[in-house]
Chain A
Protein backbone atom coordinates (compact mmCIF):
# COMPACT_ATOMS: atom_id res chain seq x y z
CA UNK A 1 0.00 0.00 0.00
CA UNK A 2 2.76 2.38 1.04
CA UNK A 3 4.72 1.46 -2.11
CA UNK A 4 1.67 2.16 -4.26
CA UNK A 5 1.21 5.60 -2.73
CA UNK A 6 4.89 6.40 -3.15
CA UNK A 7 4.74 5.39 -6.84
CA UNK A 8 1.63 7.48 -7.40
CA UNK A 9 3.29 10.51 -5.81
CA UNK A 10 6.43 10.01 -7.88
CA UNK A 11 4.44 9.72 -11.10
CA UNK A 12 2.41 12.79 -10.22
CA UNK A 13 5.56 14.75 -9.49
CA UNK A 14 7.13 13.77 -12.79
CA UNK A 15 4.00 14.84 -14.65
CA UNK A 16 3.94 18.24 -12.94
CA UNK A 17 7.63 18.87 -13.59
CA UNK A 18 7.50 17.75 -17.22
CA UNK A 19 4.42 19.83 -17.99
CA UNK A 20 6.05 22.89 -16.44
CA UNK A 21 9.16 22.35 -18.52
CA UNK A 22 7.20 22.04 -21.74
CA UNK A 23 5.38 25.27 -20.99
CA UNK A 24 8.62 27.08 -20.20
CA UNK A 25 10.17 25.74 -23.38
CA UNK A 26 7.26 26.99 -25.40
CA UNK A 27 7.50 30.46 -23.89
CA UNK A 28 11.24 30.51 -24.48
CA UNK A 29 10.75 29.45 -28.07
CA UNK A 30 8.15 32.14 -28.62
CA UNK A 31 10.47 34.72 -27.17
CA UNK A 32 13.23 33.68 -29.54
CA UNK A 33 11.09 34.73 -32.46
CA UNK A 34 10.87 38.48 -32.50
CA UNK A 35 8.98 38.49 -35.77
CA UNK A 36 5.96 37.29 -33.91
CA UNK A 37 3.54 39.53 -35.67
CA UNK A 38 2.22 39.84 -39.12
CA UNK A 39 5.36 41.10 -40.65
CA UNK A 40 4.55 38.33 -43.08
CA UNK A 41 2.84 41.12 -44.90
CA UNK A 42 6.39 41.71 -46.19
CA UNK A 43 5.69 39.93 -49.38
CA UNK A 44 2.47 41.79 -49.91
CA UNK A 45 3.64 45.28 -49.15
CA UNK A 46 3.60 47.53 -52.11
CA UNK A 47 7.17 48.57 -52.06
CA UNK A 48 7.81 51.94 -53.55
CA UNK A 49 10.66 50.62 -55.57
CA UNK A 50 12.61 52.88 -57.75
CA UNK A 51 15.61 51.60 -59.54
CA UNK A 52 18.79 51.94 -57.59
CA UNK A 53 17.16 52.87 -54.30
CA UNK A 54 16.24 50.57 -51.44
CA UNK A 55 12.56 49.74 -50.99
CA UNK A 56 10.64 51.68 -48.36
CA UNK A 57 7.67 50.40 -46.42
CA UNK A 58 5.27 52.99 -45.02
CA UNK A 59 2.50 52.57 -42.53
CA UNK A 60 0.04 53.06 -45.38
CA UNK A 61 1.56 49.99 -47.07
CA UNK A 62 1.01 48.00 -43.88
CA UNK A 63 -2.58 49.20 -43.85
CA UNK A 64 -3.14 48.22 -47.45
CA UNK A 65 -1.72 44.76 -46.89
CA UNK A 66 -4.02 44.28 -43.92
CA UNK A 67 -7.04 45.41 -45.85
CA UNK A 68 -6.25 42.95 -48.61
CA UNK A 69 -5.83 40.16 -46.09
CA UNK A 70 -8.87 40.91 -44.02
CA UNK A 71 -10.84 37.77 -43.48
CA UNK A 72 -14.04 39.06 -41.98
CA UNK A 73 -15.51 39.95 -38.64
CA UNK A 74 -14.06 38.48 -35.49
CA UNK A 75 -15.95 37.24 -32.46
CA UNK A 76 -14.67 39.68 -29.93
CA UNK A 77 -15.52 41.63 -26.83
CA UNK A 78 -17.69 44.70 -27.29
CA UNK A 79 -16.38 48.00 -25.91
CA UNK A 80 -19.18 48.19 -23.35
CA UNK A 81 -17.99 44.96 -21.78
CA UNK A 82 -14.65 46.41 -20.87
CA UNK A 83 -14.75 50.22 -20.76
CA UNK A 84 -17.20 53.06 -20.24
CA UNK A 85 -16.74 56.42 -21.89
Chain B
Protein backbone atom coordinates (compact mmCIF):
# COMPACT_ATOMS: atom_id res chain seq x y z
CA UNK B 1 0.00 0.00 0.00
CA UNK B 2 2.79 2.35 0.95
CA UNK B 3 4.66 1.47 -2.21
CA UNK B 4 1.58 1.82 -4.38
CA UNK B 5 0.89 5.30 -3.10
CA UNK B 6 4.52 6.20 -3.65
CA UNK B 7 4.30 5.03 -7.23
CA UNK B 8 1.45 7.38 -7.90
CA UNK B 9 3.66 10.29 -6.96
CA UNK B 10 5.32 12.51 -9.46
CA UNK B 11 8.34 10.95 -11.08
CA UNK B 12 11.15 13.36 -11.46
CA UNK B 13 13.63 12.87 -14.18
CA UNK B 14 17.05 13.92 -13.14
CA UNK B 15 20.10 13.70 -15.23
CA UNK B 16 23.21 13.47 -13.18
CA UNK B 17 26.71 14.48 -13.88
CA UNK B 18 28.90 17.14 -15.24
CA UNK B 19 26.82 17.27 -18.37
CA UNK B 20 28.56 14.38 -20.07
CA UNK B 21 30.96 11.53 -19.60
CA UNK B 22 34.59 12.53 -19.51
CA UNK B 23 36.35 11.44 -22.71
CA UNK B 24 38.95 8.70 -22.20
CA UNK B 25 41.90 11.09 -22.16
CA UNK B 26 40.27 12.91 -19.23
CA UNK B 27 38.67 9.94 -17.50
CA UNK B 28 41.82 7.85 -17.34
CA UNK B 29 44.32 9.37 -14.92
CA UNK B 30 47.20 10.87 -16.91
CA UNK B 31 50.60 9.35 -16.17
CA UNK B 32 52.04 12.67 -15.05
CA UNK B 33 49.33 12.98 -12.40
CA UNK B 34 50.55 9.98 -10.43
CA UNK B 35 52.39 11.02 -7.30
CA UNK B 36 54.34 7.79 -6.81
CA UNK B 37 56.30 5.51 -9.08
CA UNK B 38 54.15 2.55 -8.11
CA UNK B 39 50.97 4.13 -9.41
CA UNK B 40 52.65 5.35 -12.55
CA UNK B 41 54.20 1.94 -13.26
CA UNK B 42 50.84 0.21 -12.94
CA UNK B 43 49.15 2.77 -15.19
CA UNK B 44 51.93 2.41 -17.75
CA UNK B 45 51.86 -1.37 -17.76
CA UNK B 46 48.08 -1.58 -18.03
CA UNK B 47 47.27 1.41 -20.21
CA UNK B 48 45.54 -0.75 -22.81
CA UNK B 49 43.44 -2.49 -20.18
CA UNK B 50 42.36 0.84 -18.70
CA UNK B 51 41.20 1.98 -22.11
CA UNK B 52 39.30 -1.26 -22.58
CA UNK B 53 37.56 -0.89 -19.23
CA UNK B 54 36.63 2.67 -20.19
CA UNK B 55 35.26 1.55 -23.54
CA UNK B 56 33.24 -1.25 -22.03
CA UNK B 57 31.65 1.02 -19.46
CA UNK B 58 31.07 3.81 -21.95
CA UNK B 59 29.48 1.68 -24.61
CA UNK B 60 27.98 -1.20 -22.65
CA UNK B 61 26.67 0.76 -19.66
CA UNK B 62 25.28 3.95 -21.19
CA UNK B 63 23.68 4.89 -17.87
CA UNK B 64 27.13 5.38 -16.31
CA UNK B 65 29.57 8.23 -16.90
CA UNK B 66 33.18 7.79 -15.90
CA UNK B 67 34.24 10.74 -13.76
CA UNK B 68 37.12 12.95 -14.87
CA UNK B 69 40.24 11.29 -13.45
CA UNK B 70 37.98 8.49 -12.28
CA UNK B 71 39.75 5.54 -13.84
CA UNK B 72 43.23 4.45 -12.82
CA UNK B 73 45.41 3.09 -10.07
CA UNK B 74 44.62 5.41 -7.21
CA UNK B 75 44.65 5.01 -3.43
CA UNK B 76 42.08 5.91 -0.81
CA UNK B 77 42.37 9.45 0.52
CA UNK B 78 43.73 9.77 4.00
CA UNK B 79 45.19 6.29 4.14
CA UNK B 80 48.93 6.23 4.80
CA UNK B 81 51.23 4.22 2.57
CA UNK B 82 50.94 3.58 -1.11
CA UNK B 83 48.43 0.77 -1.53
CA UNK B 84 47.17 0.97 -5.07
CA UNK B 85 43.65 0.08 -6.12
CA UNK B 86 42.32 -0.24 -9.64
CA UNK B 87 39.59 2.35 -9.25
CA UNK B 88 36.60 3.44 -11.25
CA UNK B 89 34.45 6.42 -10.31
CA UNK B 90 31.18 6.86 -12.15
CA UNK B 91 28.18 9.08 -12.10
CA UNK B 92 25.02 7.03 -12.16
CA UNK B 93 22.43 8.55 -14.45
CA UNK B 94 19.21 7.65 -12.80
CA UNK B 95 15.57 8.33 -12.53
CA UNK B 96 14.67 9.60 -9.09
CA UNK B 97 11.57 7.65 -8.25
CA UNK B 98 9.56 8.31 -5.10
CA UNK B 99 10.29 4.83 -3.79
CA UNK B 100 14.02 5.40 -4.18
CA UNK B 101 13.74 8.78 -2.49
CA UNK B 102 11.88 7.17 0.40
CA UNK B 103 14.67 4.74 1.18
CA UNK B 104 16.86 5.49 4.17
CA UNK B 105 20.36 6.71 3.28
CA UNK B 106 22.09 3.37 3.85
CA UNK B 107 19.48 1.56 1.75
CA UNK B 108 19.98 3.99 -1.14
CA UNK B 109 23.71 3.35 -1.01
CA UNK B 110 23.09 -0.39 -0.79
CA UNK B 111 20.71 -0.32 -3.73
CA UNK B 112 23.19 1.61 -5.85
CA UNK B 113 26.10 -0.63 -4.98
CA UNK B 114 24.08 -3.80 -5.51
CA UNK B 115 23.00 -2.60 -8.92
CA UNK B 116 26.10 -0.90 -10.27
CA UNK B 117 28.99 -1.45 -7.88
CA UNK B 118 29.13 -5.22 -8.07
CA UNK B 119 28.94 -5.12 -11.85
CA UNK B 120 31.80 -2.63 -11.99
CA UNK B 121 33.90 -4.68 -9.59
CA UNK B 122 33.41 -7.62 -11.93
CA UNK B 123 34.64 -5.56 -14.86
CA UNK B 124 37.69 -4.34 -12.96
CA UNK B 125 38.62 -7.80 -11.74
CA UNK B 126 38.18 -9.48 -15.09
CA UNK B 127 41.73 -8.96 -16.28
CA UNK B 128 44.00 -11.72 -15.01
CA UNK B 129 47.23 -9.86 -15.67
CA UNK B 130 46.18 -6.89 -13.54
CA UNK B 131 45.02 -9.21 -10.77
CA UNK B 132 48.34 -11.05 -10.87
CA UNK B 133 50.43 -7.91 -10.48
CA UNK B 134 51.97 -8.05 -7.05
CA UNK B 135 51.96 -4.28 -6.67
CA UNK B 136 48.19 -4.05 -6.93
CA UNK B 137 46.43 -4.10 -3.56
CA UNK B 138 42.82 -4.23 -4.64
CA UNK B 139 39.89 -2.75 -6.50
CA UNK B 140 37.66 0.19 -5.72
CA UNK B 141 34.38 1.48 -7.04
CA UNK B 142 33.04 4.95 -6.40
CA UNK B 143 29.46 5.77 -7.31
CA UNK B 144 27.92 9.22 -7.32
CA UNK B 145 24.26 9.96 -7.97
CA UNK B 146 21.77 12.73 -7.45
CA UNK B 147 20.44 12.90 -3.93
CA UNK B 148 16.65 12.93 -3.97
CA UNK B 149 14.89 16.09 -2.82
CA UNK B 150 18.07 17.78 -1.71
CA UNK B 151 18.26 20.99 -3.68
CA UNK B 152 20.23 23.71 -1.91
CA UNK B 153 19.05 26.98 -3.39
CA UNK B 154 19.37 26.37 -7.08
CA UNK B 155 22.00 23.66 -6.72
CA UNK B 156 21.37 19.96 -6.69
CA UNK B 157 23.29 17.75 -4.30
CA UNK B 158 24.79 14.32 -4.85
CA UNK B 159 25.45 11.26 -2.76
CA UNK B 160 28.68 9.31 -3.13
CA UNK B 161 29.72 5.85 -2.06
CA UNK B 162 33.24 4.44 -2.25
CA UNK B 163 34.10 0.80 -1.63
CA UNK B 164 37.75 -0.30 -1.49
CA UNK B 165 38.57 -3.97 -1.12
CA UNK B 166 41.69 -6.11 -1.42
CA UNK B 167 41.89 -8.13 -4.61
CA UNK B 168 41.60 -11.55 -2.96
CA UNK B 169 38.36 -10.53 -1.25
CA UNK B 170 36.96 -9.14 -4.49
CA UNK B 171 37.74 -12.35 -6.37
CA UNK B 172 36.32 -14.51 -3.59
CA UNK B 173 33.16 -12.42 -3.35
CA UNK B 174 32.57 -12.41 -7.09
CA UNK B 175 33.14 -16.15 -7.20
CA UNK B 176 30.66 -16.54 -4.32
CA UNK B 177 33.31 -18.04 -2.09
CA UNK B 178 32.83 -15.11 0.28
CA UNK B 179 29.47 -13.84 1.50
CA UNK B 180 28.35 -10.27 0.95
CA UNK B 181 28.58 -9.64 4.67
CA UNK B 182 32.15 -10.95 4.87
CA UNK B 183 33.06 -8.84 1.86
CA UNK B 184 31.56 -5.72 3.39
CA UNK B 185 33.29 -6.38 6.71
CA UNK B 186 36.62 -6.65 4.91
CA UNK B 187 36.13 -3.57 2.74
CA UNK B 188 36.83 0.08 3.41
CA UNK B 189 33.61 1.98 2.88
CA UNK B 190 33.23 5.74 2.64
CA UNK B 191 30.06 7.69 1.99
CA UNK B 192 29.31 11.34 1.37
CA UNK B 193 26.27 13.55 1.45
CA UNK B 194 27.29 16.25 -0.97
CA UNK B 195 30.73 17.21 0.34
CA UNK B 196 30.07 15.96 3.87
CA UNK B 197 31.55 12.66 4.93
CA UNK B 198 29.14 10.19 6.47
CA UNK B 199 31.80 7.74 7.59
CA UNK B 200 31.21 4.04 7.26
CA UNK B 201 27.58 3.33 6.55
CA UNK B 202 25.88 -0.05 7.15
CA UNK B 203 26.04 -1.30 3.58
CA UNK B 204 24.14 -4.33 2.35
CA UNK B 205 24.53 -6.11 -0.96
CA UNK B 206 21.82 -8.11 -2.64
CA UNK B 207 21.34 -9.72 -6.03
CA UNK B 208 20.56 -7.27 -8.81
CA UNK B 209 21.07 -8.25 -12.44
CA UNK B 210 20.05 -4.91 -13.93
CA UNK B 211 23.45 -4.24 -15.47
CA UNK B 212 23.58 -7.48 -17.38
CA UNK B 213 19.94 -7.79 -18.34
CA UNK B 214 18.63 -4.30 -18.98
CA UNK B 215 18.58 -3.19 -22.58
CA UNK B 216 18.08 0.44 -23.43
CA UNK B 217 15.42 0.55 -26.12
CA UNK B 218 16.93 0.74 -29.59
CA UNK B 219 20.41 1.28 -28.16
CA UNK B 220 23.25 0.06 -30.28
CA UNK B 221 26.88 0.28 -29.11
CA UNK B 222 29.09 2.08 -31.57
CA UNK B 223 31.90 -0.41 -30.95
CA UNK B 224 30.85 -3.90 -31.86
CA UNK B 225 33.83 -5.84 -30.54
CA UNK B 226 33.25 -5.20 -26.84
CA UNK B 227 30.83 -8.03 -26.30
CA UNK B 228 28.26 -5.77 -24.62
Q: A residues engaging B (CB < 8 A)?
A: 22-23, 25-31, 33-42, 47, 54-60, 62-63, 65-67, 69-85
Contact = CB atoms under 8 A, between A and B. Distances in A.
B27 interface: no
B199 to A, nearest CB: 13
A75 B155 contact: yes
B132 to A, nearest CB: 23
Contacts of B118: none
Interface in B103-160: 103-104, 107, 111, 115, 140, 142, 144, 146, 152, 154-158, 160
B63 A39 contact: yes
Contacts of B194: 75-77
Contacts of B72: 85
Contacts of B95: 35-40
Contact of B142 (A27, A30, A33, A82): A82
6 contacts: A29-B99, A36-B97, A37-B95, A39-B95, A83-B77, A85-B35
Nearest to A38: B93
Interface of B: 2-3, 6-7, 13-21, 29, 33-35, 39, 58-59, 62-63, 65, 67, 69, 72, 74-77, 87, 89, 92-95, 97, 99-100, 102-104, 107, 111, 115, 140, 142, 144, 146, 152, 154-158, 160, 162, 190, 192, 194-195, 197, 208, 210, 213-214, 216-222
B218 A47 contact: yes
A14 to B, nearest CB: 15
Contact of B219 (A35, A36, A38, A57): A57
B111 A38 contact: no
Nearest to A78: B195
Given A38-B93, A76-B157, 15 more contacts: A30-B100, A37-B94, A39-B63, A55-B218, A57-B216, A58-B219, A58-B220, A72-B154, A73-B155, A75-B155, A75-B195, A76-B160, A79-B67, A81-B77, A82-B76
